């Protein structure tokens, strides 16, 4: 039988208690990985994974996460930088506080997540990083200048990191979801949802599990061993 080669590999997922992050945690579990995830509120504990309370905007806290995961589960092989927020508004009404909150979480949070673990991966000459970006970061979206900037930033980060990390045997990729049915869609009105749906050639929103499978592919040392510096789109042909 062929496998993705993730059995017993240690994988850390940020924001793993719900939505896309929870789907990634559960799929990794079922593929035999040793999974740790961070959460901010204790809602929805995920069975069979190490749960750590941590905020990606706090560098010291994220350093402690790496230490704790390695102490409890062993050397980290995979990191999924998934935690993210939206604070939407049209640009004239977008406050500096909402600009900063989104950039701090979605972009600086990825830096804080990866900074403690990348040197360890380089030393071990082994590792796979996956960052969850967004269709908004690739093509822009109404009311999301802050979010789109943060997500476009992660694409630049991942592409540059892939160039640097290749010589150390470490890969870095991004998954770019379109509109996925999670709590993140809750603030969008029904009218706007209908407009978005009419623009999606597959005629429906995506499922968190459909994003998780793309992550599994990119984490896999078997399936994607020569894939690095790429953005895999999971968007029903919403943006091609
Ligand atoms: N749902 C979508 O349509 C969609 C589309 C494209 C990209 N994304 C991205 O996918 C990722 C997951 O989103 P989701 O749809 O599951 O949303 P969600 O709101 O259900 O989950 C977001 C997760 O991030 C965590 N989080 C937020 N701020 C954090 C912080 N400061 N520190 C630690 N954790 C924090 C939350 O606790 C939660 O676990 C995000 O990066 C999001 O931008 C989502």
Q: pLDDT tens digit string along 100-151?
A: 999 999 999 999 999 999 999 999 999 999 999 999 999 999 999 999 999 9
The number of C-alpha atoms within 13 Å of 215 and in the hemisphere containing its C-beta is: 30
Burial of 29 (0-12, 13-18, 19+ CB in 10 A): middle
Residue 46 pLDDT: 82
For residue 187, name the pLDDT band (cuts at 50, 70, 90).
confident
Centre a 10 Å sphere on the Cβ of residue 98 and count the other Cβ atoms it contains. Answer: 17
pLDDT of res. 58: 98
Pairwise CA distance, residues 172 & 127, whole Å: 9
Domains of the chain: 10-234 (3.40.50.720)
For ligand 1, pick from 17, 56, 83 the residue to mutate: most ligand atoms within 8 Å of CB: 83
Strand ranges for the chain from DSSP E: 10-13, 34-39, 50-53, 76-81, 127-132, 170-177, 231-234
How remote is the CA of residue 124 from the centroid of ligand 1, in Å?
A: 30
Cα–Cα distance for residue pair 176/102, rounded to 1 Å: 17
Q: Which of 15, 105, 176 to mutate to test ligand 1, by most ligand atoms within 8 A of the CB atom? A: 15
Active site residue 111: no
Residues lining ligand 1, Cβ inside 6 A: 14-15, 17-21, 38-40, 55-57, 82-85, 105, 109, 132, 134, 177, 179-180, 182-185
DSSP H or E stretch at residue 171: strand 170-177
Q: Distance from first CA to last CA of the chain, Å, rounded? A: 34
Distance (angstroms) between ligand 1 centre and the Cα of 110 equals: 12
Distance CA 184, CA 174 (A): 19
CB 102 within 8 A of CB 147: yes
Q: Is the pLDDT of residue 185 over 80?
A: yes
Q: What is the pTM assigned to this prediction?
A: 0.98
């Amino acid at each position: 039988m062929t496998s993705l080669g993730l059995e017993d590999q240690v994988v850390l997922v940020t924001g793993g208690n719900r939505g896309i992050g929870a789907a990634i945690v559960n799929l990794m579990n079922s593929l035999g990985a040793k999974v740790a995830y961070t959460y901010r509120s204790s809602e929805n504990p995920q069975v069979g994974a190490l749960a750590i309370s941590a905020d990606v905007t706090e560098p010291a806290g994220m350093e402690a996460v790496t230490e704790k995961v390695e102490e409890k589960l062993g050397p980290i092989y995979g990191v999924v930088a998934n935690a993210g927020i939206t604070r939407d508004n049209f640009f004239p009404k977008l406050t500096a506080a909402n600009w900063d909150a989104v950039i701090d979480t979605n972009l600086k949070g990825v830096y804080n997540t990866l900074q403690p673990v990348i040197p360890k991966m380089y030393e071990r000459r082994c590792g796979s990083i996956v960052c969850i970006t967004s269709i908004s970061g690739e093509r822009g979206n109404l009311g999301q200048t802050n979010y789109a900037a943060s997500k476009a930033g992660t694409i630049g980060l991942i592409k540059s990191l892939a160039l640097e990390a290749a010589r150390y045997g470490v890969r870095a990729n991004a998954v770019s979801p379109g509109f996925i049915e999670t709590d993140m869609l809750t603030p969008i009105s029904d009218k706007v949802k209908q407009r978005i749906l009419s623009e999606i050639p597959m005629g429906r929103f995506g499922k968190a599990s459909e994003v998780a499978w793309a992550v599994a592919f990119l984490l896999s040392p078997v399936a994607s061993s020569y894939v690095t510096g790429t953005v895999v789109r999971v968007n029903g042909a919403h943006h091609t």
